[in-house]
Amino acid sequence: MERKPVFNDWCPGCGNFGILRAEEMALRELGVEPKKIVVVSGIGCSGKIPHFMDIPISGVHTLHGRSIAFATGIKASNPSLEVVVNVGDGDGVGIGMGHFVHLGRRNLDITVIVHNNGVYALTKGQASPTLGRGVKTKSLPRPNINDAVNPLAIALAAGYTFVARGYAYDIVHLKELIKKGIRHKGSAVIEVLQPCPTYNDVNTKEWYDKRVYKLDSDPTWDPVVKREEEAKSKFEKAMMRVMEFGDKIPLGVFYQNEFVPTFEDRLEQNIPNYREYYPAIQPIEIGGIATTKISELIKAKRV
C-alpha cells in the first residue's frame, strides 16, 4: 500500500484534531493490526480524517452521506476487518440519515463516530441538522428556523447497541469511549461534540466547557445490560439521559447491550461458513473462468 504525505489543512483549534488523536490512540492501544483497520469517511472537514491518520490503515474517503453504506459493504464482505466510520453531522444525520438508521437495526459490528459541530463546515458554515432552533452562527443571515435532531436518541430508537458521547477537547476520555465502541460486538455510535472555531461561534470551547459533565461521576450510573431482562429499563434510562442537552450535557456511555445478535451472527444462521469463507476471499469466477456477469455470478454463488 502506498501512502503519500498529506498536508493537514484543518483550521487551528479545530475539534477534529482531538478526534483524530483519540482515534489513533484507541487503535494503537487496542493493538489492532493496521492492515486489518479500515477507516471510512464521507465528504466534509471530518471526511479528511483517513488521510491524516498516523497509522498505515486503509482509508476510504467516500461520497457525502454514503460512508455507512460503503462501510456496510466492506464489513459484510470481509467480517475479519475492524471498520470505523467517521461522519460529519450533515453527512451522517442529514443526507446520510437513512443509512444511519438502518445500520442500527442491522447491528453490524462497526463503529460510527459522529463529528457534531452544528454546521456544514466544509461548505462554509450552513446550519447542520444538529443546530438548535433560534441559534444564529456567523454564516447564517438569520437564526436557524429548524429544530435540531438528537443523533443519540435516533441511534437508540434505531437499535444501536452501544451509544456514547465524547468531547473533542477531552482526548483521553474520548479515546476510552472509542476503545469501548470498537471492542463492542454490534453497531456502536459515538457522538463527539466538536467545536468548529471558524464557523460555529456559538457552540465554542467556552460554551461546552461550562456544560459538559461525565455520566460516571454518578457511581450508580451503569449503562451495561448484564442480563437480558434489564435491557428495557436500561434502554429507557438511556433515552431519558440522551435528551439532556442544554445547560448540562452528559458525556460517557449511555447504553450497551451485547445480547442482540450482530448482522454477522444473523448471516451465519443462513450461511454456516460465512465467517471462514466470506465474500471478499471468494474468487470472481464460474467454473474456473473469470466473469463480469454479476447476475450469473450471484446465481452460481447462492447457497
Ligand X SMILES: Cc1ncc(C[n+]2csc(CCOP(=O)(O)OP(=O)(O)O)c2C)c(N)n1
Chain positions contacting ligand X, by CB under 6 A: 43-46, 64-65, 88-91, 115, 117, 119-123, 128
CB of 224 to ligand X, least distance (A): 31
Closest CA to 107 of 143, 161, 47, 67: 161
Q: Determine if 197 is a binding residue for ligand SF4 (CB under 6 A).
A: yes
Check residue 198 for interaction with ligand SF4 (CB under 6 A).
Answer: yes
- Contacts of range 145-151, beta carbons closer than 8 Å, 24 or more positions apart: 149/93, 149/97, 150/242, 150/243, 150/245, 151/89, 151/92, 151/93, 151/100, 151/114, 151/116, 151/189, 151/191
Query: For Mg ion, which is the closer residue by CB, 128 or 203?
Result: 128
Q: Rule CB under 6 A: choose which of 19, 25, 26, 45 binds ligand SF4.
A: 45
> Are residues 189 and 162 in contact, defined by beta-carbon separation less than 8 angstroms?
yes
Burial 133-142 (b: 16+ CB within 10 A, else e): eeeebebbee
Q: Is 6 in the site for ligand SF4 (CB under 6 A)?
A: no
Closest listed residue to residue 138, CA positions, set 116, 161, 119: 119
Q: Does 16 bind ligand SF4 (CB under 6 A)?
A: yes
- Give the type of residue at 241: R
**67 near Mg ion, rule: CB under 5 A:** no
Round to whole Å and give the CA distance between 83 and 37.
Answer: 6
Q: Give min distance, CB of 52 to ligand SF4, in A.
A: 11
Cα–Cα distance measured from residue 108 to residue 281, given in angstroms and rounded to the nearest whole number: 19
Residue 89 is a binding residue for Mg ion (CB under 5 A): yes
Q: Among ligand SF4, Mg ion, ligand X, none, what does residue 130 contact (CB within 5–8 Å per kind)?
A: none
Please tell me whether residue 23 binds Mg ion under the rule CB under 5 A.
Answer: no
Nearer to ligand X, 45 or 69 (CB): 45
Q: Report, in Å, the least distance between residue 249 CB and Mg ion.
A: 17
- Residues 192, 113: contact at Cβ < 8 Å? yes
Part in contact with Mg ion (CB under 5 A); list of ranges 63-71, 117-125, 142-150, 197-205: 117-125
Total chain residues near Mg ion (CB under 5 A): 4
Which amino acid appears at position 103 of this protein?
Answer: L
Residues in touch with ligand SF4 (CB under 6 A): 10-11, 14, 16, 45, 117, 121, 196-199
